[in-house]
Amino acid sequence: MAEIIQERIEDRLPELEQLERIGLFSHAEIKAIIKKASDLEYKIQRRALFKEDFINYVQYEINLLELIQRRRTRIGYSFKKDEIENSIVHRVQGVFRRASAKWKDDVQLWLSYVVFCKKWAGKAQLSKVFSAMLAIHSNKPALWIMAAKWEMEDRLSSESARQLFLRALCFHPECPKLYQEYFRMELMHAEKLRKEKQEFEKAKMDVETLDYPEEILKGELARIIYKNSLSMIKGAEFHVSLLSIAQLFDFAKDLQREIYDDLQALHTDDPLTWDYVARRELEIESQPGEEQPTTKQSKAVEVGRKEERCCAVYEEAVESLPTEAMWKCYINFCLERFAKKTSSQFLREKRLERTMVAFRKAHELRLLPEFQYKQWIELLLRHDFFKEALEVVVAGTELFRDSVTMWQMKLRVLIDTKSPDIAMVVEEAFVHLKPQVCLPLWISWAEWSEGAQSQEDTEAIFKKAILAVTGADSVTLKDKYVDWAYRSGGYKKARAVFKSLQESRPFSVDFFRKIIQFEKEQESCKMANLREYYERALREFGSVDSDLWMDYIKEELNHPLGRPENCGQIYWRAMKMLQGESAEAFVAKHAMHQAGHLKENCCLVARGYLLRPDLLWYAFVVENMERTGKCGEENKSIQMDLYFRSFTHSFIH
């Protein structure tokens, strides 16, 4: 293996000599490149191969290429590229070929190869890469589309792109995306030929001798693809997608008309067809003979007319196709138009009225889904239609008794209307809802009670909620309970609530952090209380949260009544409890903290404490281990041994 690596290093020498001779790199840099290249070569030539080694090799060579490019720009030297850059590019291609042969199934590796060739290699080489990739990954339509797009846009080869699409359709005869992109490609090809022909005609050249078939110029190939796709793929959505593509090309008016007529004929019972036909009315411009609107008012009137035509189509649609999906399309259109900004008061009022009418009709037919009831109620509340909002929300909760969203909306309407029946409605909701979905309702009820009722009533609600809501959902409730207690009764109340909940698992880390923060905000912050809170938090999260341990150590160091001598014991406990990445993260944070606070430890003497040489010594040891990469989980015992040695050393001295 050594002979092979030596030979490969010697193959680099001509390019490295050129780099040094023309002044792009110094002699020391060349030696560093050779050393790094040797290390990388050993890794990709050994018996047990790893993909990461090949990736690192390629990345190093790409970085070298970019550095060469920047230095060429800086000194203004652009010669000897064949001897330098091309040699590196060929070498990287060889590494990519080996890696892609070894790990054929790794699509990301192939795509990296493609990206490299696009930037550094020639078009012929990239074409070979695409062929090799598609031979292995023929089951991925996106790769076929990528290759065909490159042939069409970069190589300007419509024929090659067409062949790729035809081969792809043999493997994926029912893939809508392939048909869409193939259809688009043929229209782009026809447009390109039309522009070429126009340029030749402007130059007064004889175009009759050139090959510009009239059928292709009209998009006949695209029409054939469209017809073939209809036999393979059904559904209005695909039909509409092809029509949207065809509308991007002005010369394909006949094709657009044909697709539009087929859409109406083949998919009359599909809401998407009616939705498309209705929205198309917005795009229809005024007739050439008609006077174009000029003022803001006349433009608003014209927009209103277009929207009226759209709604007429929707009205016809819901008559012939009275389904929930059709009404959903109609209402979504009305909401979209209502959300459009306009300075015309007339247009705003017309849109609001139209939206309300659509909601009411769908509601009467019982064809309104749950989320649209919510949209309707929110719209009514936004415009202060409280009476109708109450009627709608009552009807919604009757239809969707098991929906917590509808009960929440009912509670919101009752709160906005200052109804006295809020508690009764909430109790009724709990009868119909499963306990595990009631959390949002409890929170809304408690938030309302905080502003409208006494503290005793609000606390009673929280206590009922804690008993009713169990499992992970109760975590949020406990956090809000502690927050409310602090807002309403101060620290004493919050501590009492914390005491009452401290054995009611599960908890969140924030639950403990809140009470710790509340304690620290007090004028007489008691270290004993902080220790209690940290100990309880670590009992729950000490095996996964390294930040808690670090905060505990910092508290002992920084609090006026803290005991810095406890830090060693806390560190020892943390190393026993934390596992894996959490332990490594803790060691790193602790080392950084100790290294950054050596001066602070020295200042402890001025505050009346003994100097902590054990901490200073240990900080140095851990920081050195972290810097040299020896701070993994397997070295915990070594670290602990070092700590106790440092402690013994400080005790003796």
Token pair of 644, please? 């106790």
Which of the listed residues 603, 623, 639 is the one where a domain comes to its end?
A: 603
Mean pLDDT value across residues 233-249? 94
- Per residue in 116-140, pLDDT (tens digit) is 999 998 888 899 999 999 999 999 9
pLDDT of residue 213: 81
Nearest residue to 243 via CA among 151, 320, 163, 235 = 235
Token pair of 451, please? 């502003």
- Per residue in 508-540, pLDDT (tens digit) is 999 999 999 999 999 888 999 999 999 999 999
**Which residues make Cβ contacts (< 8 Å) with residue 302, sequence separation at least 6?**
286, 293
pLDDT of residue 611: 38
Mean pLDDT value across residues 619-638? 44
- Per residue in 178-205, pLDDT (tens digit) is 999 999 999 999 999 999 888 888 877 7
pLDDT of residue 614: 46
Mean pLDDT value across residues 435-452? 90
Asked if the structure places residue 446 within a domain, the reply is: no
Peptide bond just before 369 cis, omega within 30 deg: no
* pLDDT tier at 16, thresholds 50, 70, 90: very high
Q: What is the mean pLDDT of the chain?
A: 87
Listed range (115-129, 221-235, 275-289, 418-432) with the worst mean pLDDT: 275-289
One-letter-per-residue 3-state SS of 503-519: CCCCCCHHHHHHHHHHH
Say if residue 101's pLDDT is above 90. yes
pLDDT of residue 205: 72
Cβ-contact 396, 406 below 8 angstroms: yes
pLDDT of residue 105: 93
* pLDDT tier at 209, thresholds 50, 70, 90: low
pLDDT of residue 436: 85
Asked if the structure places residue 9 within a domain, the reply is: yes
Rounded Cα gap, residues 286 and 67, in angstroms: 59
More confident of the two residues 158 and 289: 158
Asked if the structure places residue 31 within a domain, the reply is: yes
Which of the listed residues 603, 619, 640 is the one where a domain comes to its end?
A: 603
* pLDDT tier at 637, thresholds 50, 70, 90: very low
Asked if the structure places residue 247 within a domain, the reply is: no
Listed range (186-190, 293-297, 362-366) with the worst mean pLDDT: 293-297
Asked if the structure places residue 201 within a domain, the reply is: no
Buried-exposed string 289-326: b where 16+ CB fall within 10 A, e elsewhere: eeeeeeeeeeebeebbebbeebbebbeebbeebeeeeb
pLDDT of residue 619: 46
Q: How far is CA 638 from its chain centroid?
A: 42
Say if residue 615's pLDDT is above 70. no
Which of the listed residues 42, 77, 103 is the one where a domain comes to its end?
A: 103
Phi (first) and psi of residue 293, to 5 degrees: -65, 140
pTM exceeding the 0.95 threshold for the entire prediction: no
Cβ-contact 115, 55 below 8 angstroms: no
Number of domains present in the structure of the chain = 2
Q: Which long-range contacts (CB under 8 A, 24 or more apart) does 355-360 make?
A: 355/331, 355/379, 358/327, 358/330, 358/331, 358/334, 359/331
Give the domain range for residue 578. 507-603
- Per residue in 139-151, pLDDT (tens digit) is 999 999 999 999 9
More confident of the two residues 648 and 519: 519
Asked if the structure places residue 271 within a domain, the reply is: no
Rounded Cα gap, residues 529 and 539, in angstroms: 15
**Which residues make Cβ contacts (< 8 Å) with residue 137, sequence separation at least 6?**
107, 110, 143
Say if residue 291's pLDDT is above 70. no
Rounded Cα gap, residues 15 and 466, in angstroms: 74
Asked if the structure places residue 346 within a domain, the reply is: no
Asked if the structure places residue 390 within a domain, the reply is: no
Rounded Cα gap, residues 229 and 231, in angstroms: 5
Q: Is the dihedral of CA 240, 246, 247, 253 positive or negative?
A: negative
**Which residues make Cβ contacts (< 8 Å) with residue 589, sequence separation at least 6?**
546, 547, 550
Say if residue 435's pLDDT is above 90. no
- Per residue in 85-94, pLDDT (tens digit) is 999 999 999 9
* pLDDT tier at 114, thresholds 50, 70, 90: very high
Say if residue 599's pLDDT is above 90. no
User: What percent of the chain stands above pLDDT 90?
Assistant: 65
pLDDT of residue 272: 95
Count, residues in the chain = 653
Say if residue 597's pLDDT is above 70. no
Rounded Cα gap, residues 135 and 131, in angstroms: 6
Mean pLDDT value across residues 470-484? 90
